[in-house]
Amino acid sequence: MNTSYRNSDFRPTAGASFRMVLDVGNWDTSRVVNTPGQSGNSASSHYRDLAP
């Protein structure tokens, strides 16, 4: 995963927008989400903007 942040305040400037949860024992239950623009930083006020 490629991520980056600003040295001055440690705010993230880039991160993952594509995430997968894979169940190799049952591929049909695997989940994928593509959320461009959503913050991957759990401390950000925008962390849950695009996903319920």
Q: What is the pLDDT along the chain (52 residues), one digit of tens a residue?
A: 566 777 888 777 776 667 788 999 999 999 887 766 666 677 877 776 765 5
pTM flag (> 0.85):
no
pLDDT given for residue 9 in this prediction: 84
Instruction: Quote the pLDDT of residue 27.
Output: 94
DSSP letters of 16-44?
--EEEE--TT-GGG-EEEE-TT----TTS
